[in-house]
Amino acid sequence: MPARRRYQLYYWPGIQGRGEFVRLTLEEAGAPYDDVARLRPSEGGGVPTLMKFLDGEEGGMLPFGPPFLKDGRLVIAQTANILQYLAPRHGLVPAAEAARVGAHQLQLTIADLVAEVHDTHHPIAVSLYYEDQKPEALRRTSHFVKERIPKFIGYFDSVLDRNGGKYLIGRKSSYVDLSLFQLLSGLDYAFPKAMKRIARKLGRLRDLQARVAARSRIAAYLASERRIPFNEDGIFRHYPELDL
């Protein structure tokens, strides 16, 4: 089989953020890729290279924001869209249309939750610092941890249960299992107390999370320097005052 050409992933260099969902799928696929903004300028990398796309100085479909993926001349943005492009090419989603649509539905639901997580520390404006919106962040987070985490987690648990308890979709591991792993890991980091409170609801999902972490390519990735640690610049941030 001819060697596959390399993908180029464009995402902010210092955070897991939304780019991490794409990184996990590329890693599990064993696909060659450059994490472009993390490369040195001498290697053709860095944030200015990413900005050129956002500023419309490069060809292809204009991305609104990162992550975006370049495959040859194709430029693909929106996390869930990137994943639904990659997964069938690497056997990370069942071939049947119903399963692919179902997987995309789940990934979009994960994206909804990720957006809500972001809004816990930025409830008023993306352009303001967290420090400039702390009272609103506290108010928003109190509802988020009480109402939204249990509702989303209950939903994903039901989906898993209805599919036999081992995989979210189909009869083998897919990209949505990887994304669910990332979602739970992020929630654990940001809101450990809330996650502890719903421990009883989490049994099956915890098993899935552990199975993903133990997959050989994922385990190697998590232990590597390619995996950026969670931090307070990303989407999943641990602020003790918001760990309600």
Binding site for ligand GSH (CB under 6 A): 17-18, 65-67, 78-79, 111, 126
Nearest residue to ligand GSH on Cβ basis: 65
For ligand GSH, give the closer residue by CB, 65 or 203.
65
Please state the closest distance from residue 219 (CB atom) to ligand GSH, in A: 25
Single out the residue of 191, 187, 201, 202 nearest to residue 142, CA to CA: 191
Decide whether 58 or 244 has the Cβ nearer to ligand GSH: 58
CB of residue 31 to ligand GSH, shortest distance in Å: 19
- CA distances from residue 68 to 23, 35, 63, 77, 86 in whole angstroms, order as listed: 11, 11, 7, 4, 12
Q: Angle at the Cα of 191 (from 185 to 194), degrees rounded to 5?
A: 110
As measured in angstroms, the least distance from the Cβ of 66 to ligand GSH is: 5
| Residue 110 or 205 with smaller CB distance to ligand GSH | 110
Q: In what order do the strands lie in the sheet with 68-71?
A: 33-35, 7-10, 68-71, 74-77
Q: Kindly report the number of other CB atoms within 10 A of residue 191's CB atom.
A: 25
Q: How far is the CB of 60 from ligand GSH (least distance, A)?
A: 16
DSSP 8-state assignment for residue 225: T
18 vs 38, which CB is nearer to ligand GSH?
18
